[in-house]
Chains A and B, each alone.
Chain A
């Protein structure tokens, strides 16, 4: 990843300052875990277990606080980018610290539920990092200076031309063109947004129909050729518009997992701590 790309700079903020801090934390924790010899199996109840538990709990609460901090637009003392950089590396460190806290014990209980939620939250976060590192660049490239609104404007201009050119064409073709103009849409439900390739597009259908009807190039008159050209142009724009929608959804949808999982984790963390001390 190049450092001159603004979308990636949160990963390499200040010479990977937070990366090295997180590595140091994990390193110390692993060394202590190896050195420590608790009575019986390693568990969260030894002094190291409690220490790692306190660190993990503090990390969870601090990481969750990012959701509050990122809405405090008026606080500029520490840039949000700094927070994000720390959020990512300490979030990854949490996986190791929480694993050591568990002493590698897993069961069907609220304690392991909290641990699993840590893992799921971090995995969704890692996906978010991947998405933020990859898609803004692709989005800019796909847009090539056109906003989605402008793409749609161009599409509707093409639609008018298509209708005009199609007036003199046979009924079947005209109705397909009409359908292409009146039924073609961008986006749709969540699956259509995420997977535009699987959407049945009336514009594509119309083009296929014409290509089929006028497979013999010699019978294509000027208006047929023009309609085909217009449809091709529209399809290209549709692809870009749909890709734009797809990327926008991808850039947001991971948060629909990351945030609820994080808040669920908070609930599981409270339950875990209460359970441990309730039945001490």
Chain B
């Protein structure tokens, strides 16, 4: 067959084509990339041999080769016969069958309609070498993060604050919206354990925005907090104008709420006289240098005055003027004390000194509970069940008079040897028969008075009381009296001591009672005894004990004014 191939080349300006004609004479015409093909197509998308055209009975037959196909007027085919006017698409090439011209079996046009194009621009188009963003621009991410932070950090907590109900008891409101807790993000640190129950209710203390927590809020609960020192005497120790939170730092757990460092105290008490000239205190910088204990002791009973005397081995012993007589040594003898019934009992400290329920201090000594088992107050052998009451001396005296009056009136008295002279007129009556007449009654009571007076002045009266009590004579009434008793409840009133943590130590470790012969002995240990185990804040071989271990800061008796809060 002889075919005219019309290569349509570049488009001209007028819209037509530049063309190149090629005549091929061959039994079949092969289209492909291979050099053996009659029509050599250079596009790499074309197979080495892609299409073969043959002529059978005047018609053109198209057969695709290898794994390829073509389109005839848009229809995908692998085999087709075509006629003039048909348009064939072969990969990037377009073929059109034209009307035959003379001398040719067929005339076809061939156009490379879809060339590969410019490799560079294609490569650039495929490639993404610019770095513009990570989803958003840096600025976009910045805004996103900023808005997120501001929303969580400002807007939500502020809304929580604004929408919270004002007034009332914040702790009473048990059901709250989730939003109400949005201000928790503002909490700067954990509560102290004592305030932990305020939990998420910031408004319990933070009542006013942009205002420090006010003293009033603290005094709502802690209304007993007093001054540290009397501001009228020590004006520079006054707490007036101070904020509670200046010292009591919340939101640092348990570490900041109560200051326990020595430095807090020794800032002033290290050189107290330079700060407070009129102070009677001594300088102290550490527990190792703690001044000697000065127990507060009664100096005079009427009027009551007190003095502070050091427990110092090199100085005169402090004297406890309790007006009692009590030799500890005799009561703590190793072979015990003799009971009136003849038996012996070995006494321990705990027999009389019992801890309070809280374990801090000792319960007061009671005559009835601790003494009366051995020391009875019987005064009349003919009335062995009668004991003077141990309330006060006038009651006791009345009781004795009453007892003898009863004898006089009932008349069962057996007169022993007596010193009373003027009893002859009613002696007989008192002896056996009951009193009958008014005159006899009067005489009997007079006897009773005299008898009681005799007893009270003797060994069962003045003598019995005087065993434990100091007795004073009243110059005017010529009578005797029991001296007023003062037993201190706190020897060192500006400190607190807790017996409970010390209970595993023997009492004698601190209290040398076994060698005390007089009740005037002060049986407190000196500070050196405490220092055997306790050291200061930075002690390494002793129990670390700072000032607040024993001393409080606020003094309840020096109440702070609560107006203007």
Contacts and interface: CB of A to CB of B under 8 A. Distances in A.
Interface in A180-235: 181-190, 193
The 5 closest A-B CB pairs, nearest first, are: A271-B153, A40-B256, A264-B145, A267-B149, A156-B119
B210 interface: yes
A146 interface: no
B263 interface: yes
Nearest to A274: B154
B189 interface: yes
A117 B145 CA distance: 11
Given A278-B161, A279-B183, A267 B128 contact: no
Q: How large is the interface on B (under 10, 10 to 19, 20 to 34, 35 or more residues)?
A: 35 or more
B247 A271 contact: no
Contacts of A122: none
Interface stretch (B43-51, B215-223, B281-289, B396-404): B43-51
Contacts of B494: none
A44 to B, nearest CB: 8
Given A40-B252, A163-B44, A185-B128, A279 B154 contact: no
B148 interface: yes
B127 interface: yes
B141 A260 contact: yes
A226 to B, nearest CB: 16
Interface in A231-280: 241, 244-245, 248-249, 252-253, 255-256, 259-264, 266-268, 270-272, 274-280
A171 B149 contact: no
Contacts of A37: 261, 263
B313 interface: no
Contact of A110 (B142, B144, B152, B249): B152
Given A109-B188, A252-B131, A270 B154 contact: yes
B255 A41 contact: yes
Interface of A: 37, 39-41, 43-45, 105, 107, 109-111, 113, 117, 148, 152-153, 155-157, 159-160, 163, 166-168, 171, 174, 177-178, 181-190, 193, 241, 244-245, 248-249, 252-253, 255-256, 259-264, 266-268, 270-272, 274-280
Decide if the interface of chain A is mainly helix, strand, loop or mixed: helix
25 contacts: A41-B252, A43-B249, A44-B188, A107-B187, A110-B152, A110-B186, A168-B34, A171-B47, A171-B48, A181-B44, A182-B122, A185-B127, A186-B129, A188-B127, A248-B129, A256-B138, A259-B141, A261-B145, A267-B147, A267-B153, A275-B157, A278-B206, A279-B206, A280-B212, A280-B213
Contact of B131 (A171, A249, A267): A249
A280 B149 contact: no
Nearest to B253: A41
B44 A174 contact: yes
B414 interface: no
B134 A272 contact: no
B365 interface: no
Interface in B186-233: 186-190, 202, 206, 209-213
B159 to A, nearest CB: 13
Interface string B43-81: 011011000000000000000001000000000000000
B149 A156 contact: no
